[in-house]
Amino acid sequence: MGRTTLVTGIAELTTNAAGPGTRDGDPTGLVADAAVLLDGDRVAWAGPEREARDGVGHALGGRPPDATVDAGGRAALPGFVDPHTHLVFAGDRAGEFEARMAGTPYAAGGIRTTVAATRAASDDALRAGLARHVAQALAQGTTTIETKSGYGLTVEDEARAVRIAREVTDEVTFLGAHVVPPEAAGRADEYVDLVCGDMLAACAPHARWVDAFCETGAFTPDQTRRVLEAGAAAGLGVRVHASQLGPGDGVRLAVELDAASVDHCTYLAPADVEALAGSWDGAAGPGGAVEPGRAVGPGGAVGRGGAVGRGGAVGPVAGRRGTVATLLPGVEFSTRQPYPDARRLLDAGVVLALASDCNPGSSYTSSMPLCVALAVREMRMTVAEAVWAATAGGALALRRDDVGLLAPGARADLVLLDAPSRVHLAYRPGVPLVAAVWQSGVRVPPTPAP
Ligand code: NIG
Ligand code: FE
């Protein structure tokens, strides 16, 4: 048993789990007038405050908690799970953004500008930038973050990126297939050989996932398939960038290859939507709150400590589950493209996550509250759907069952809002509403000054 903290006075608690005080059929497991007990790095109890005496007494064997924090009528929710960022990079592309706002369209080729800056940067400069971005995300409530390589594109530079990324998160993705680098221009298939060969061998030990950008201007579906199959054969879980700039075969390929997530999904054909929805047949999605330690997919009994163990050891991605569509509204905001049709996806039964896609080109924001606000305002998600997608949805996109929810056994990742309800995340866009964050039971200090 670790240090125990009881948080009381929560006007509205989003648990994303069935438990005391929740309503049947509410996937967000909302509890009014709630309390949460944190025990070391885990949640020990969550429920209505009027039941806390019994719940906490039972959880602590009659001992009082070590500390009590009064939330003072604020809303609380699980820490955000951001399952898609690109934070190992140097430089920025503010000029490209400015030109875009004046009418120049976004193109995948801009990635090469960041590749040049990243290759030229020292390890320490990359580390410092990464730490700064992760701290900014954490201050905005992101307690679990995935991040990718993809701005190195040589064996050494990609291996360096995943190694540095692994210093800050277990959720590291090898994205050697981001674009064809300039020195391999016109020789994409040869570059894919390198990605599937020496580059993968150098990166796989530091990564949990393999990803590829399946899009005109990046990689074809055949090239994408080769990369993802090679990554899977090396023990990595699969995720895909697809249908960001136009329609294509990437979404169906992702489902076929049992990707945990296919990201962007801005231009979808009916067959894509059908494939995404079908991948969840019989599995727990928004209609079925996921509890820690429970199987969350067909034939996929993935207990706690299965995918990512208590001590943070990253194991292989296990168990057949569905493919999440991860929507990245920061991209559409920042590239002036049409937003993906979240309503159509939800109505078809597709499981959605929201992510920031924080990167210097297409979406230079790490703010999950902004993503929630955009999803509600621009993509017609309800507040409940958007908050679920930014927490539990992100966890499913990473095939994690220990984060994205507040229930006994889950990781003690808690966000307190300076607001009485989660609605304020969309209602008050741009306002710093994250009042306090606990990550693995530790209260996070405010972002340090540079
Ligand atoms: O997810 N789509 C590919 N990769 C990034 C963009 C990276 C960049 O423009 O630097 C994305 O949007
Ligand atoms: Fe991306």
- For the chain, which residues score pLDDT lower than 70? 282-320, 446-450
Around ion ligand 2, residues with a beta carbon closer than 5 Å are 357
> Tell me: the pLDDT tens digits for 6-42?
999 999 999 999 999 999 999 999 999 999 999 999 9
Residue 445's pLDDT is: 79
Residue 107's pLDDT is: 87
Spatial distance between the Cα atoms of 15 and 76, rounded to a whole number of angstroms = 9
Measured in Å, residue 39 CA sits from the centre of ligand 2 at: 35
Our answer on whether the CB atom of 240 is closer than 6 Å to any ligand 1 atom is no
| Phi (first) and psi of residue 253, to 5 degrees | -60, -40
Our answer on whether the CB atom of 213 is closer than 6 Å to any ligand 1 atom is yes
Measured in Å, residue 281 CA sits from the centre of ligand 1 at: 31
Residue 289's pLDDT is: 40
> Tell me: the pLDDT tens digits for 414-427?
999 999 999 999 99
Spatial distance between the Cα atoms of 251 and 239, rounded to a whole number of angstroms = 10
Which ligand does the CA of 173 lie closest to?
A: 2
Our answer on whether the CB atom of 361 is closer than 6 Å to any ligand 1 atom is yes
Nearest ligand 1 atom to alpha carbon 331: 12
CA 142 to chain centre: 9
Class of domain 80-397: alpha beta
Our answer on whether the CB atom of 326 is closer than 6 Å to any ligand 1 atom is no
Measured in Å, residue 86 CA sits from the centre of ligand 2 at: 6
Which ligand does the CA of 361 lie closest to?
A: 1
pTM for this predicted structure: 0.93
Measured in Å, residue 278 CA sits from the centre of ligand 1 at: 27
**Domains of the chain by residue range:** 4-79+410-443, 80-397
Residue 284's pLDDT is: 53
Measured in Å, residue 116 CA sits from the centre of ligand 2 at: 18
How is domain 4-79+410-443 classified at the CATH fold level?
Answer: Urease, subunit C; domain 1 (2.30.40)
